[in-house]
Amino acid sequence: MRLSRLDLTRYGIFTDHSIDFGERVPDTPDLHIVYGPNEAGKSTLFAAWLDLLYGVEMRSPYGFLHLYPTMRISGALEFSDSVREIVRIKKPQNSLLDVHEQPIAESAILGEFGGIDREAYRTMFSLDDDTLEQGGESILKAKGELGQLLFSGSSGLADLSRKIEEFHSEADGFYKFHARSGQLHDLKNELDQLKQEKDQFDTQASKHAELAETVKRTKVLYDETSRSRSKLQARKDEIQRLLNARPRLAKLRSLREQIAPLEAIPHAPTGWAEDLPALREEEIRLETQFQSNADDVVRLESALDAITVDDNALRLTDKLEEIEPLRARHMTAEKDLPDRRQKLRDLDTAISLHLDQVERGGETNPARLILPASTVAHLRELIESHSGIDAKLSTAREELSEAKDRLNEANAKLGDDAQTGNTGNETYITTLKEALAALRASDHAARQRLAERASQDAQAKLDDCLATLAPWKSNGGRGEADQLVAIPVPGADTLQRWKTAGQAIETRIDQRSGEIERLRTEEARLTAEQDAVSSVTGIVTDQDAALIRAERDHAWAEHRNRLDASSAERFEDVLHRDDGIVARRFGHVKELAQLHETAKALRLVQSDLARAEELHAKALADAQELTSEIGQATSALSPDLPTDWTLQHLEAWLVCREKALEVRGEPRTATRDLQAAQNDADAIRERLIAALSALKLSFAPRRRGSDAGRNGPECA
């Protein structure tokens, strides 16, 4: 296959560009060299040749001048049997066309290449400096398709490169120099751990025998001590039970003396003791119910005696039952009746006003007030046509009167000129007519009115925007809005940083406040629980036990030094008191444990509360620092603005400033439009003055404004 012509109709920087390689000359080399400076389009030309063969790429870089749907490449290809004209456009499918713009199959071209794809064609035939260097490296490393083909062709090993890569990957996974990971590194770490564990458990035989003998002796001593301790503990428990039973023994003897006279009374059945509480409750309930029933009987008898039978009402019982549903409706209607009457009065007043407006006051028949449909339609047409007629008629009359006056004056002047033989003014009259036609065709008066109205509206809008910037004050004058441009406003990133920091600080303050409230509630609860447990009668705290123990030790030391009767009595007295406190503490073990747990929990809560208050104070300080930073930024904007503004106030003020800056140029635009309309009016006025001066007519210029713009100078 040979390329005879390549047409770059719309591709890259080319538009309707064609390169013709001519016809093949037999027995001569058929080689063409395309040369040119950089950026001349040589790479674009070769890319177009590839796109012609294999289709334009999905995201082609050559669609910067011509849009994708308009890209087009064509050419003439010489095949073995004929020359074929083909066209390539940018489409996902059916992008290869013939000269008749009909789609043809891709195989019509690719069949001549033996079915190689775009990448293989680029590798084999699209050779440049980069591809040659890459190809050389791939040959040396046996990488890439071409390198593998050449290396496998010379060595007979087709998959050697892939196998080498696999072996390298496997070797790197097992061990890599200076790497901190890998299978070998993991195995070494595991070996070190096993060695440490072995060193921990390893013991010499002599040491092991010595330890075993020590364990044996210690176990014997432990067993003996445990048995002795168990005996002592049993004896101690027995003594403690006897001590605890001594106060109850006296009470038991007193109770036996009290029940001794009652031994002759027979014993109650076994189940009476269990049934007695329920029987008492039942007795109380029955007595209460009996009293309530008696009161109901008395009340009902009194009510029955007070009833008088009304025979007439008995006969109307059926009718009363029928009337009962109407009673609710009657009550509702009675409550709604004043509102209905007030609405009726309002409607009557409105109807009277409408009747007076149509001069039919006192009319009671509404049918007489309805107009026929034809009359209504005719009235509507008249109203629509009559709208604005008076104003237009008055304006037309004024213009007609002024036109007649000017016409009479002009005719008189022309007559005088004709009588004096002044026939050379025809040219000036034509000029005057042209000036008058330009005056009538000009819209400067309407533009001037619109510009004046727009200027007033823009100035009012700007004043309203500036008023929203209070308490900011400018120096006055026309540059009031321009002063806003020079104000150093904080950037969007600064505002976002403040907003993010403010939200984070507010969240912290809320969290710490809730945590402080919770911890204070928990502290109050634990304090109350501690007070409640401490108030239990007979409980001895750790402080009291420590005091009596210290006093006991002091008495014992004093007795050892003196060894007399008084010191012995004192030591005995303190010892009895200590034993009593110990006994009382044994009796309130549960309360003491609860008191200890409560005190521990209270200390933890107090510690957490102190930390939460510290963090809350830190969050408040951060909030104050942020507020101070915002206040400094506000002061930098203008000294008139308060420094205690929040971020929301500052953002709202900045939004109002942006609005004021947006409408700042509208008064200037309206002023320019007004000046342009006035300039057009002045130009037309000068033209009329020149035409009238040429005719030697006197004139009196009118006041500059809408009348002057409409009628021009007044001739005298």
pLDDT tens digit string along 548-568? Answer: 788 888 888 888 887 888 888
pLDDT at 713 exceeding the cut of 70: no
Q: Give the model's confidence band at 144: pLDDT under 50 very low, under 70 low, under 90 confident, else very high.
A: low
**Are 78 and 108 in a shared domain?**
yes
Lowest mean pLDDT among 152-156, 214-218, 306-310, 370-374: 152-156
95 lies in a domain? yes
709 lies in a domain? yes
Please tell me the distance from the alpha carbon of residue 187 to that of residue 314, in angstroms, as a whole number.
110
Q: Kindly give the residue spans of alpha helices, DSSP state H, lying in 144-204.
A: 144-155, 160-174, 183-201
Q: Provide the residue type at 537 as one letter.
A: T
> What percentage of the chain exceeds 70 in pLDDT?
82
Instruction: Write down which residue in 640, 673, 690 finishes a domain.
Output: 640
Burial 28-58 (b: 16+ CB within 10 A, else e): eeeeeeeeeeeeebeebbbbbbbbbbbbbee
In this prediction, residue 322 carries a pLDDT of: 74
133 lies in a domain? no
Q: What mean pLDDT is reported for the chain?
A: 77
| pLDDT tens sequence across 628-644 | 887 777 777 777 777 77
399 lies in a domain? no
Lowest mean pLDDT among 33-37, 177-181, 191-195, 339-343: 177-181
**Of 287 and 320, which is predicted with more confidence?**
287
How many alpha carbons fall within 13 Å on the CB side of residue 484? 23
In this prediction, residue 430 carries a pLDDT of: 76
**Highest mean pLDDT (candidates 11-25, 148-162, 548-562, 654-668):** 11-25
pLDDT at 699 exceeding the cut of 60: no
In this prediction, residue 596 carries a pLDDT of: 75
The full DSSP string for 602-654 is: HHHHHHHHHHHHHHHHHHHHHHHHHHHHHHHHHHHH-TTS-TT--HHHHHHHH
Please tell me the distance from the alpha carbon of residue 515 to that of residue 615, in angstroms, as a whole number.
10
Q: Based on the number of CB atoms within 10 Å of its own CB, is 12 exposed (0-12), middle (13-18) or buried (19 or more)?
A: buried
Please tell me the distance from the alpha carbon of residue 588 to that of residue 573, in angstroms, as a whole number.
23
**Are 629 and 708 in a shared domain?**
no
Residues 6+ apart with CB under 8 A from 60: 51, 68, 71, 90
Lowest mean pLDDT among 10-19, 22-31, 513-522: 22-31
Instruction: Write down which residue in 94, 126, 158 finishes a domain.
Output: 126
What's 481's DSSP letter?
G
What six digits make up the tokens of 128? 């440049």
Q: What is the CATH number of the domain that holds 59?
A: 3.40.50.300
517 lies in a domain? yes
**Are 460 and 525 in a shared domain?**
no
Q: How far is CA 646 from the centre of its chain?
A: 21
Positive or negative, the CA dihedral 500, 506, 509, 513 is: negative
**Are 454 and 582 in a shared domain?**
no
pLDDT at 264 exceeding the cut of 60: yes
**Of 598 and 708, which is predicted with more confidence?**
598
Please tell me the distance from the alpha carbon of residue 251 to that of residue 572, in angstroms, as a whole number.
27
Burial 124-144 (b: 16+ CB within 10 A, else e): eeeeeeeeeebbeebbeebbb
Q: Give the model's confidence band at 479: pLDDT under 50 very low, under 70 low, under 90 confident, else very high.
A: very low
**Of 651 and 606, which is predicted with more confidence?**
606
pLDDT at 319 exceeding the cut of 80: no
Q: What is the pTM of this model?
A: 0.32
**Residues, the chain:** 716
pLDDT at 105 exceeding the cut of 80: yes
What six digits make up the tokens of 288? 């209460």
**Are 18 and 91 in a shared domain?**
yes
183 lies in a domain? no
In this prediction, residue 473 carries a pLDDT of: 60
pLDDT at 147 exceeding the cut of 70: no
256 lies in a domain? no
> What percentage of the chain exceeds 90 in pLDDT?
2
Q: How far is CA 517 from the centre of its chain?
A: 30
Q: Give the model's confidence band at 696: pLDDT under 50 very low, under 70 low, under 90 confident, else very high.
A: low
**Are 544 and 583 in a shared domain?**
yes
In this prediction, residue 588 carries a pLDDT of: 61
Q: Based on the number of CB atoms within 10 Å of its own CB, is 191 exposed (0-12), middle (13-18) or buried (19 or more)?
A: exposed
**Are 564 and 689 in a shared domain?**
no
**Are 615 and 683 in a shared domain?**
no
Residues 6+ apart with CB under 8 A from 425: 414, 417, 694, 695
Can you give the residue range of the structural domain that contains 467? 427-480+663-715
Place of tokens 């309002």: 346
| pLDDT tens sequence across 416-454 | 555 554 445 567 677 777 777 777 776 667 777 777 777
How many alpha carbons fall within 13 Å on the CB side of residue 698? 2
**Of 133 and 230, which is predicted with more confidence?**
230
**Are 54 and 88 in a shared domain?**
yes
**Of 157 and 5, which is predicted with more confidence?**
5
| pLDDT tens sequence across 376-408 | 777 777 776 666 676 677 777 787 787 777 777
| pLDDT tens sequence across 27-84 | 888 888 888 888 888 888 888 888 888 888 888 888 888 888 889 999 988 887 788 8
Provide the number of structural domains found in the chain: 4
**Are 629 and 688 in a shared domain?**
no
Please tell me the distance from the alpha carbon of residue 670 to that of residue 689, in angstroms, as a whole number.
28
- Hey, which residues does 18 pair with through a beta bridge? 7
Closest CA to 626 of 500, 492, 488, 502: 502
536 lies in a domain? yes
**Are 517 and 469 in a shared domain?**
no
**Are 599 and 686 in a shared domain?**
no
Q: Give the model's confidence band at 716: pLDDT under 50 very low, under 70 low, under 90 confident, else very high.
A: very low
